Structure 1
Amino acid sequence: MIVKMLHRKGLRSEHMYTAAFASIGLTVVSWVGSLKYEPRGGVDRADRWGIFVGEWAPTFFALGLALAHYEREDAIQEARRSEVPSDLSSL
Structure 2
Amino acid sequence: MIVRLLHAAGLRSTHLHALSLGSVALCLTLWIRAKTVDQQQRGNAERRALFTGLWPPMLWLIGDSLRERE
- 2:7 matches 1:17: no
Cα displacement string for residues 48-89 of structure 1 (whole angstroms, at most 9, x for unaligned residues): 122100000011001100000111xxxxxxxxxxxxxxxxxx
Aligned residues: 69
Q: Does the Cα contact within 8 Å between 1:17 and 1:64 map onto a contact in 2?
A: yes
Cα displacement string for residues 2-38 of structure 1 (whole angstroms, at most 9, x for unaligned residues): 00110010000000000000000000111112222x3
Unpaired segments ≥5 residues, structure 1:
72-91
RCO higher in 1 or 2 (8 Å CA, sep ≥ 6)? 2
CA RMSD of the aligned region, Å? 1.3
Q: Does the Cα contact within 8 Å between 1:23 and 1:57 map onto a contact in 2?
A: yes
Report the residue type matching 1:6 in the other structure.
L
1:67 corresponds in structure 2 to: 66
Question: What SS does the aligned partner of 1:3 have?
Answer: helix
Larger radius of gyration: 1
User: After TM superposition, what 4+ stretches of structure 1 lie above 4 angstroms from structure 2?
Assistant: none
Unpaired segments ≥5 residues, structure 2:
none
Instruction: Output the TM-score relative to the length of structure 1.
Output: 0.69
